[in-house]
Structure 1
Amino acid sequence: MKLLLEECYENEFNDLEKEKYVFGHEDGQNTILSPYRVLINRYNQYQHEYSDLFYNNLDIPVFWYVYPQGLDGMIMYHSDKKANIYFKEPVVKRNVHKVEWLDNDFNYKTDYYDLYGLKFFTEYYDQNMDLLMTSFYTDDNKEILTIHHQNEAFLVNKNNKTNVFYSYREFVQYVESFMKG
């Protein structure tokens, strides 16, 4: 089985067998396993079937509402736009791919939904739209992995303990260790 690795870290894997890996970007929609998906599947409570999330089923605060707009959608509260909703293909089905949360038109975080209709990860941004942190979630919405992009630290949270990895390769080796056994 091939493992999908982030293409931005490809240079860390030059010495490994290329036939074991595929390089690309995890966006929650891939059917090939990434280290993130392997980790999340390990700690999910249930086995899930492919099932997209219809935009009307998004978990939002009381009195907020979802609203389709053209090929995408939005979340509103009174007259304030709180989020942009982007649908996956085909967009006519209105299944959620990602939600960009707004604060006075500033996109401070984006939630990505996976092939199972679950929130898979959230990216957090600074005022310049630089990626600060990415958090991955289990099916009961527990944060299991946090990536701090500026210092390239990978924090795996399990059983009230945190394992810290200081390179993507170290993190991948950790995930591969429990894939084997």
Structure 2
Amino acid sequence: MLNLFERNDQKTRDLLYSLKQAGFERPTVFLEDDGWLPPECESPFAYFAKQEKSGRPRYFNEIKVPRFWEIIGDNRQASIGFYGQTKAKIVYAAPKEKRWIKEVKWLDPAGRTRLIDHYDQYGHRFAQSVCDEAQKPIVKTYFDAKQHEVLVQNFVTDDLILNQGEQILTFKNLTEFMLYYLAKRKFSIEQIFINSLSYPLFVLLKLPQTGNDVLFWQEDFQGNVPGNMEMILNGSVPRLKKIVVQDAKAYQTAMQLSNNSPYFENLGFIYEKKRENGQRKQIFILTNSDQLEQIKTLSAQLPEFEFHIAAITEMSQKLMDLGHQANISLYPNIAPKELAKLWQQADFYLDINHHQELMQAVRQAFENEMLTVGFENTVHDRHFIAPENIYAPEQVEQMVQKLRRAASDRAYLATLLKAQKKQAEVGSVAMYQTVLGG
């Protein structure tokens, strides 16, 4: 039993969490390693490099630079400079507000990225990429804990070179390398879950053809069934028995395009539920902007509510002036403990801040079973907000009425929360076990 996933993105992590909640505990392997894999997961690159899983993320100003060079950063990005010339750009890991280093992109005199140092969640430089003039990575080298080269992946020729001490092994492509790795690890492969039609599928095609594999499809359909998926539908991948489409609309499209193929199933994600909604008249807003749509109208017309507005940096005078209103509390430079308290304390979230969303706030509100409402010109993540809870700015009066009724009518609030879960296409343990045979 094995999960063979391609990349470490949010949908893959959501799938991994859903599978665990449904009782499908199994080793998880990623074919791409960004250095920030879930701790219980591994990649073939980290395995052969014997990379350490100890330490902490490296902060943006903890890069060693030559004398007189300087590192400048804010909550979005950082750079390394020397007398006005940018020598490197620092890419943050999520959440960006923590200013943890994920990549350092070193620039040539023309300002093009030519070298990328990759840092992991333990603060180690685990890999380095060389880029061509078009700033496209052409070679990536992985290091062990002592910064010795262990593995070189060539994106131009597709080959990989593995240094095993006294033995140097060459693989024609990633598929061949993965097969060697799987043989070394001796995983059970009678059922493999994949979520990509790329290399994970290519690996399946090279394995013994007796299996009970499942493809989790997490993308849309662009007017037709992808060619590699057609292979599955016509029986050319006998190991693979089901295609689980994780978006309801995409599932309907799949059924139409395939004439209701029995291969297709639909499963949403199982999301973490951190608490119940207490129907308290506490509203939370997390922002990095002083532009909060209709905030004065909302706070004036909802005097019975307490508004908590937090920022992880200093607040502008415009925002600080809101603190003069009796039902508004401000939290500039909010500390992590205070922020965690607000997530627990408030039962309503207003997604009304313009510009960047902080710390996946809408998703966090959803996981804390807060009712989220917002405006058309401010909402950040519609996946977790029911369409009927998104208003035009001039419809602020209707938003006010909804919040007031939701805070006084428990049945009405329950209906709104149910619609919110429907929008997020929440799956269940029972559904996973039925579809996957748990």
- TM bracket (short chain): 0.7 to 0.9
Match of 2:68 among 45, 57, 63: 63
**Identity across the alignment (%):** 22
Question: Which residue of the partner structure matches residue 130 of structure 1?
Answer: 136
1:161 Cα deviation (Å)? Answer: 4.2
Counterparts of 1:111 and 1:178, CA distance in 2: 28
User: 8 Å contact 2:28–2:42 — kept in the other structure?
Assistant: no
2:184 match: secondary structure: helix
RMSD: 2.6
Q: Which amino acid aligns with 1:40?
A: A
Q: Highest relative contact order (Cα 8 Å, sep 6+), 1 or 2?
A: 1
User: 8 Å contact 1:5–1:34 — kept in the other structure?
Assistant: no
More helix by share: 2
Q: Which amino acid aligns with 1:128?
A: A
Radius of gyration: which is bigger?
2
Question: Which residue of the partner structure matches residue 83 of structure 2?
Answer: 78
How many residue pairs are counted as aligned between the two chains?
A: 166
Question: Which residue of the partner structure matches residue 117 of structure 2?
Answer: 111
1:55 match: secondary structure: coil
Matched, 1:176 2:193: no
Q: Which amino acid aligns with 1:30?
A: L
Counterparts of 1:94 and 1:34, CA distance in 2: 25
Counterparts of 1:78 and 1:122, CA distance in 2: 26
1:2 match: secondary structure: strand
| Alpha-carbon displacement from aligned partner over 1:40-91 (angstroms, at most 9, x marks no partner) | 22xx4xx432511111211323332211145110111222211001112222
Q: Which amino acid aligns with 1:74?
A: S
Counterparts of 2:181 and 2:29, CA distance in 1: 16
Q: Which amino acid aligns with 1:84?
A: K
Q: Which moved more, 1:55-64 or 1:146-155?
A: 55-64
Match of 1:152 among 151, 158, 161: 158
Counterparts of 1:48 and 1:131, CA distance in 2: 26
Name stretches of at least 5 consecutive residues in structure 1 with no aligned partner: 8-18
Change (3 A) 1:3 1:33: farther
Counterparts of 1:29 and 1:20, CA distance in 2: 17
Counterparts of 1:157 and 1:23, CA distance in 2: 20
Q: TM-score, normalised by structure 1?
A: 0.78
Counterparts of 2:64 and 2:185, CA distance in 1: 32
Counterparts of 1:141 and 1:86, CA distance in 2: 21
Counterparts of 1:81 and 1:161, CA distance in 2: 41
Match of 1:35 among 38, 44, 47: 44
Question: Which residue of the partner structure matches residue 146 of structure 2?
Answer: 140
Counterparts of 1:96 and 1:177, CA distance in 2: 34
1:164 Cα deviation (Å)? Answer: 0.8
Question: Which residue of the partner structure matches residue 33 of structure 2?
Answer: 26
User: 8 Å contact 1:4–1:35 — kept in the other structure?
Assistant: no
Change (3 A) 1:70 1:92: closer
1:100 match: secondary structure: strand
Counterparts of 2:95 and 2:136, CA distance in 1: 29
2:91 match: secondary structure: strand
| Alpha-carbon displacement from aligned partner over 1:95-145 (angstroms, at most 9, x marks no partner) | 101111101201002122112111122221111223211111111111111
Counterparts of 1:155 and 1:63, CA distance in 2: 38
Change (3 A) 1:106 1:94: same
Change (3 A) 1:61 1:179: farther
Counterparts of 1:64 and 1:161, CA distance in 2: 41
Change (3 A) 1:24 1:161: closer
Change (3 A) 1:114 1:139: same
More strand by share: 1
Q: TM-score, normalised by structure 2?
A: 0.35
2:61 match: secondary structure: helix
